[in-house]
C-alpha cells in the first residue's frame, strides 16, 4: 500500500471523526471506504456514459433501436410484475 496525504478542513475532519467513531470505525477506514465507494460510483457512471455513447453511435449509423411505445409497454409490465401481490381475503 502507498501513503497519500489529504488536506481537509478542520470541520470536515471533525465530522469524519465523529461519524467513524459512531460507526465503530477508525477515521482512516471510514475515509478509505468512502473513497472506494466514490471510485465505484464514478466507474459505474463512466461505464453508463460509454454504453450510451456506443448505442447513440449505433443508432446514428442506422442500426435498429426500440420504439418508445414498445419500451413503455415493457416498462409498465415490469412495474406491474414488481407490485406485491395482495393476499386473498378468507
- Give residue-wise pLDDT tens across range 45-56: 999 999 999 999
- Give residue-wise pLDDT tens across range 1-46: 899 999 999 999 999 999 999 999 999 999 999 999 999 999 999 9
Q: What is the largest CA-CA distance in the chain?
A: 66
- Please give the Cα distance from 36 to 6 (Å, whole number): 15
- Residue that the C-alpha cell 418508445 belongs to: 68
Q: C-alpha distances in angstroms, 32 versus 35, 43, 88?
A: 5, 16, 49
Q: pTM for the full model? A: 0.67
- Please give the Cα distance from 82 to 79 (Å, whole number): 5
Amino acid at each position: 500500500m502507498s501513503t497519500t496525504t489529504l488536506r481537509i478542513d478542520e470541520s470536515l475532519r471533525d465530522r469524519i471523526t465523529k461519524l467513524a467513531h459512531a460507526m465503530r470505525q477508525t477515521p482512516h477506514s471510514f475515509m478509505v471506504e468512502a473513497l472506494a465507494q466514490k471510485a465505484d460510483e464514478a466507474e459505474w457512471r463512466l461505464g453508463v456514459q460509454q454504453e450510451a455513447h456506443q448505442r447513440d453511435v449505433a443508432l446514428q449509423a442506422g442500426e435498429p433501436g426500440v420504439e418508445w411505445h414498445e419500451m413503455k409497454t415493457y416498462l409498465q409490465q415490469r412495474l406491474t410484475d414488481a407490485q406485491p401481490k395482495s393476499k386473498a381475503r378468507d
